[in-house]
Amino acid sequence: MSKKRKLKVSMGDQTLRLLTLLMAISVLVLMVWMGWQMFDAARPSIQKFGLGFIIGRVWDPVKEQFGALPFIYGTLVTSLLALLLAAPIGLGVAIFLNEMATSKFRVVVGFFVEMLAAIPSVVYGLWGIFVLAPWLRETVEPGLAKWLGFIPLFQGTPIGFGMLAGGLILAVMILPTIAAISREVMAAVPDMQREAALALGATKWEMIRVAVLPYAKSGIMGGIMLGLGRALGETMAVTMVIGNRPDILLSLFSPAYSMAAVIANEFTEATYDLYLSALVEIGLILFGITLLLNFFARILVWSVARGPKGGNLV
């Protein structure tokens, strides 16, 4: 009897525990390793240009002058434009789906919204080149120039490609992210809050405004930040419609360049070390910004929805 009952954890059990532990640690190692790789490859550029890299306006590989400001500008403008459009619409979609739609509608329309996130970036880019840009050039931008041309944002020759196109396409791409997270945090609002408002005689909209939104506010902010993070890093669709010119111009009609786009276009053309290093440094800046943004965004989302969430959409 005693032989069978000896204190012994089986080999198989120990192996599984060790294996899973190893895999978990490797994820940690992967993150650190990636950060270090980026830093290491960007080091020559960091050492040569220092902080001036971020405010440098000139990007001239021929003269070995590298300044990242045009790309930072292009990235920020298109992303902020995308946010301005996608945040209210995304929130509106989330409110419609969670608080208004019947369950069948919710499943079907919810699925469609998720499909927006599933379409690959390059396909959006293709559509952007052949459908969106011509439409902007022929209809929207002339219209904006006619009615709002006194604002410097809407001046200049419409060519379709440019920051407006970039911002619009990004808005479409980040909308599902904002909608999904808003839905999640709004669903985490306890029903009791809703019922309390309704019991006091509030209309549906008043209930949403008074009971749901304030409770979910920080989570929704978090969702918007995550959407911003996604917009900052989007590569293909942006590079296909933004015009790819490292200029810093005020008008949304003008072409520009984003951080991810210049990396995508020039990486394989980087013929010497400093060039490559400068491109990697742009990537490092991008990495850093999205990391910080994601970190704070998650804290906001967790504070409402309690626990890491986000599934496959982020």
Q: Could you say which residues in the range 37-66 bind another protein, by CB under 8 A? A: 37-38, 40-41
Q: In this chain, which stretch among 76-84, 150-158, 184-192, 232-240 interacts with another protein, using CB under 8 A?
A: 232-240
Q: Is 252 in the site for another protein (CB under 8 A)?
A: no
Q: Of 70, 136, 234, 257, which lies in the binding site for another protein, with binding defined by CB under 8 A? A: 234
Phi, psi for residue 66 in degrees, rounded to 5: -130, 115
Locate 47 and state its tokens: 């050492």
Beta carbon nearer to another protein, 21 or 151: 21
Q: How far is the CB of 155 from another protein (least distance, A)?
A: 26
Q: Is 271 in the site for another protein (CB under 8 A)?
A: no
Largest CA distance in the chain: 94
* Contact call for residues 313 and 180 (beta carbons, < 8 A): yes
Q: Of 70, 167, 255, 283, which lies in the binding site for another protein, with binding defined by CB under 8 A? A: 283
Beta carbon nearer to another protein, 94 or 163: 94
Q: Is 100 in the site for another protein (CB under 8 A)?
A: yes
Beta carbon nearer to another protein, 144 or 232: 232
Beta carbon nearer to another protein, 41 or 159: 41
**Window 2 to 21, contacts with another protein (CB under 8 A):** 2, 4-10, 12-13, 15-17, 19-21
Q: Is 93 in the site for another protein (CB under 8 A)?
A: yes
Q: How far is the CB of 247 from another protein (least distance, A)?
A: 20
Q: How far is the CB of 311 from another protein (least distance, A)?
A: 7
How far is 86 from 234, CA to CA, in rounded Å?
15
* Contact call for residues 218 and 300 (beta carbons, < 8 A): yes
Q: Is 104 in the site for another protein (CB under 8 A)?
A: no
Phi, psi for residue 230 in degrees, rounded to 5: -65, -40
How far is 172 from 227, CA to CA, in rounded Å?
11
How far is 277 from 46, CA to CA, in rounded Å?
8
Beta carbon nearer to another protein, 163 or 313: 313
Q: How far is the CB of 109 from another protein (least distance, A)?
A: 6
Q: Of 55, 58, 84, 118, which lies in the binding site for another protein, with binding defined by CB under 8 A? A: 118
Beta carbon nearer to another protein, 60 or 273: 273
**Window 154 to 213, contacts with another protein (CB under 8 A):** 172, 175, 179, 203-206
The string of DSSP letters for 147-202 reads: HHTTSGGG-S---S-SHHHHHHHHHHHHHHHHHHHHHHHHHTS-HHHHHHHHHTT-
CA distances from 205 to 158, 210, 213, 267 (A): 40, 8, 10, 51
Place of tokens 């599902």: 176
**How distant is the alpha carbon of residue 287 from its chain centre?**
12
230 CB contacts (<8 Å, ≥6 apart)? 173, 174, 177, 314
Beta carbon nearer to another protein, 251 or 259: 259
Q: Of 46, 69, 80, 126, which lies in the binding site for another protein, with binding defined by CB under 8 A? A: 126
